[in-house]
């Protein structure tokens, strides 16, 4: 047992420990164990097939990726991730685990291992990525009937939002009890949240994280989603991270700001000594333009995700780039040379954060290594150009399966396993009959 884990358990008089791993969808899977058992064991065992569970609970290509005999994997706690579970009635800790084979090698299809693999490629070049995610989500009325549309909840004043309240402080204050408790939970769980704003949609909020290490930020996003949902339950509302939860309202994104620093000096490699943009900066953009359409299943992982990516809906439809241009999929925020960065506006907030981080950094890495040149920057609206991103999950999966450079970076076995999960989910979705089909086809065709 790592000494830091044992010290934390004793210092906080922990009663139970949630031992969790993120699966392909970003859901927390694992075991809840007693304090005594956690201190006595160095790891836990769990079926490798857990990594291939779809969002609706089915197993995708079980025998091919897990093994016909349903073998275990070894889940090793990462001591840097231990935190309190702040909403628990008694002292409970949560620890995120890495998935390993019995020989100590990483389980290649584990989302955390995929991100570690990409970060390792950067490290081998003497680079270190720096990221900062921005997360949008909706507060909604509690709704137990999936056939009914989602609606905004009532705030302290007893009324629901009926119009757009972008950046409204009063609209946020209407849910002060929720946000005050969420803030306390984030502080107790060491989630480095910086900013809260009201976004464009009815009861749509955005929370920004401090910039930092990609793996640490993915861990924080993973835990933050749980904290938001739990806080909502305690206030008799729901919170949703669907990419497009309501017709007529904008979708929710997880924009990722990313830069790369020299691992030895800490200097931003996107800037030259004179403060101008470097060739590596332009190559990073070129890589994102070339490969973002290919990694779309990792940035828009569900059928619903593609409803968000519509023209003039506050979300990108192509991979154009521009300086302070929010109509582009790739925006360059105003900054000084030391903070020069790229904002990837393509990912939805429904992503697995580990895979979204791995995907966007993989695109930039390939551009830097292959020295890809970007297109000229956009100065007008990119909404007026053609679609360049896949329009459906089915098309996106086909693109991802047919890209050898991406498989080299992420791992071929991961690409195959992840696409199998997405294909299984799409197959399941296609079995259902939607309300649109019943309304427009039942009596008219």
| pLDDT tens series, the chain, 445 aa | 578 999 999 999 999 999 999 999 999 999 999 999 999 988 899 999 999 999 998 988 766 766 667 899 999 999 999 999 999 999 999 999 999 999 999 999 999 999 999 999 999 999 999 999 999 999 999 988 888 888 989 888 777 876 677 777 878 888 899 999 999 999 999 999 988 888 888 889 899 999 999 999 999 999 999 999 999 999 999 999 999 999 989 999 999 999 999 999 999 999 999 999 999 999 999 999 999 999 999 999 999 999 999 988 889 999 999 999 999 999 999 999 999 999 999 999 999 999 999 999 999 999 999 999 999 999 999 999 999 999 999 999 999 999 999 999 999 999 999 999 999 999 999 999 988 888 899 888 9
Distance of CA 235 to the CA centre of its chain: 25
CA dist., res. 86 & res. 4, Å (int): 19
Asked whether the beta carbons of 374 and 286 are under 8 A apart, the reply is yes
CA dist., res. 368 & res. 268, Å (int): 14
**Cα 363–Cα 217–Cα 355 angle in degrees, nearest 5:** 40
CA dist., res. 361 & res. 343, Å (int): 11
Closest CA to 141 of 235, 267, 256: 235
The C-alpha R_g of the chain, in whole angstroms, comes to 22
CA dist., res. 116 & res. 410, Å (int): 10
Asked whether the beta carbons of 383 and 309 are under 8 A apart, the reply is no
Residues 6 or more apart in contact with residue 186 via CB below 8 angstroms: 193, 224, 227
In the chain, the domains with their CATH numbers are 3-105 (3.10.20.70), 119-432 (3.30.590.10)
CA distance readout (Å), 403 to 91, 145, 289, 319, 397: 47, 40, 14, 18, 11
CA dist., res. 3 & res. 341, Å (int): 37
Residue ranges of E strands in 263-392? 321-323, 330-332, 342-344
CA dist., res. 13 & res. 96, Å (int): 19
């Amino acid at each position: 047992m790592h000494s830091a884990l044992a010290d934390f358990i004793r210092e906080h008089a922990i009663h139970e420990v949630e031992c969790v791993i993120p699966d392909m969808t970003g859901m927390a899977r694992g075991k809840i164990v007693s304090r005594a058992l956690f201190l006595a064991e160095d790891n836990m065992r769990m079926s490798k097939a857990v990594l291939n569970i779809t969002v609706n609970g089915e197993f995708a290509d079980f025998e091919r990726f897990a093994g016909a005999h349903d073998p275990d994997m070894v889940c090793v706690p990462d001591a840097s991730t231990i935190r309190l579970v702040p909403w628990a009635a008694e002292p409970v800790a949560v620890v995120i685990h890495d998935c390993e084979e019995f020989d100590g090698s990483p389980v290649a299809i584990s989302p955390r291992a995929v991100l570690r693999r990409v970060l390792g490629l950067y490290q081998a070049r003497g680079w270190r990525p720096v990221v900062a995610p921005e997360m949008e989500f909706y507060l909604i009325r509690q709704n137990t009937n999936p056939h009914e549309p989602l609606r905004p909840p009532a705030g302290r004043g007893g009324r629901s939002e009926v119009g757009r309240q972008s950046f409204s402080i009063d609209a946020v204050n209407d849910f002060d009890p929720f946000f005050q408790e969420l803030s306390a939970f984030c502080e107790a769980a060491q989630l480095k949240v910086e900013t809260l704003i009201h976004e464009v949609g009815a009861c749509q909020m955005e929370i920004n994280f401090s910039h930092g290490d990609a793996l640490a930020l993915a861990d924080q996003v993973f835990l933050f989603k749980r904290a938001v949902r739990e806080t909502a339950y305690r206030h008799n509302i729901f919170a949703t991270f669907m990419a497009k939860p309501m017709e007529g309202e904008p979708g929710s994104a997880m924009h990722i700001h990313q830069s790369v620093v020299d691992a030895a000096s800490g200097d931003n490699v996107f800037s030259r000594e004179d403060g101008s943009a470097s060739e590596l900066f332009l190559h990073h953009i070129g890589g994102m333009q070339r490969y973002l359409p290919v990694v779309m299943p990792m940035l828009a992982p569900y059928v619903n995700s593609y409803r968000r990516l519509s023209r003039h809906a506050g979300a990108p439809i192509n991979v154009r780039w521009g300086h302070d241009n929010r109509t582009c999929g790739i925006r360059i925020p105003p900054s000084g040379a030391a903070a020069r960065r790229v904002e990837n506006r393509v990912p939805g907030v429904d992503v697995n954060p580990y895979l979204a981080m791995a995907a966007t950094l993989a695109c930039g890495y390939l551009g830097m290594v292959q020295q890809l040149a970007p297109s000229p920057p956009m100065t007008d609206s990119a909404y007026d150009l053609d679609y360049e991103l896949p329009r459906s999950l089915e098309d996106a999966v086909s693109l991802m399966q047919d890209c050898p450079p991406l498989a080299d970076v992420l791992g071929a076995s991961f690409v195959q396993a992840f696409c199998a999960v997405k294909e299984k989910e799409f197959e399941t979705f296609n079995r259902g009959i939607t309300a649109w089909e019943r309304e427009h086809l039942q009596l008219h065709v």
